Amino acid sequence: MQEYWEIYMKNIDGKVASVLFNAGISMDVEKIKYIYPQIAFVKVKLKEPNERGLLSKEEESEIFFLEDKLEASLIKFRIGKYVGRVISDGYVTFLYYLQFTYNWQDFLNFALDEHSQYEITSGFNEDVDWNYYYNLLYPNIKEWQIIQNHKACDSLKSKGDNLYIPRAIEHKAFLKEDTQKEDLISSLKEREFKILKEIENEDGVKGFSFYRVDKPFYTDIDDITLNLIDILENFGAFYDGWETSLVKN
């Protein structure tokens, strides 16, 4: 079973939320969801949330220690899988899918024995379709795009790139069908994008690449790509990322 973790920001019930989730496990859900059919939570009220209701620097070490203790207890009692964490509105909620529930209280007692100063609630419910994972933790198309944008920006920045300098940014679009291709191209040209070439992905789906001079800074590239997702969707196409050159000065 593969494990890799992603973290991103989203809006939950009108509140900003920081979501950490196990992205790797998504490839195995169909195999394991009947083995781990119960969703469980441990919800901790933060003592010193920041002004946005998120985790403050002053409380980070204590919450991360609590998270590690929960993980150690999960391994000790072998009851399930840790799948994610949500921090929002002054609370941090740890989420697990359980194979067994008979020793849930033992798991809690071992994990939380050093954290009696916190207000903590917990529980579990049946969720054989893993709805909490897919609907709460797993990012939608636009949230995934933001994750990938920021990884690319971080990579450029680590190489000394000045993300504020405009340069040609190349994008890719693939078409579910050709009927609206020319209309899509016209719409992109109206927005000053220039068409580069015809392309084809690994699955044989055809599309094209296009570019415009823009800044690849975090918020700028988010605005550009999220807008492109909407535009392409309107014409029966889907967006497949961007790339650009390194510019230091």
**Every domain of the chain and the residues it spans:** 5-137, 141-244
Q: Is the pLDDT of residue 176 over 90?
A: no
State how far Cα 84 lies from the chain centre.
11
Q: Is 71 exposed, middle or buried (0-12, 13-18, 19+ CB in 10 A)?
A: middle
* pLDDT reported for residue 215: 97
Residue with tokens 């510019």: 247
Q: Is 182 exposed, middle or buried (0-12, 13-18, 19+ CB in 10 A)?
A: exposed
57 CB contacts (<8 Å, ≥6 apart)? none
* pLDDT reported for residue 118: 95
The hierarchical CATH code for the domain 5-137 is 3.30.70
Please state the rounded mean pLDDT for residues 192-216.
95
Given this structure, which CATH class describes domain 141-244?
A: alpha beta
Give the ranges where the chain is alpha helix by DSSP (H): 29-32, 57-77, 104-112, 131-132, 141-158, 181-190, 218-234
Q: 88-141 pLDDT, tens per residue?
A: 999 999 999 999 999 999 999 999 998 889 999 999 999 999 999 999 999 999
Q: 47-100 pLDDT, tens per residue?
A: 999 999 999 999 999 999 999 999 999 999 999 999 999 999 999 999 999 999
pTM equals 0.88
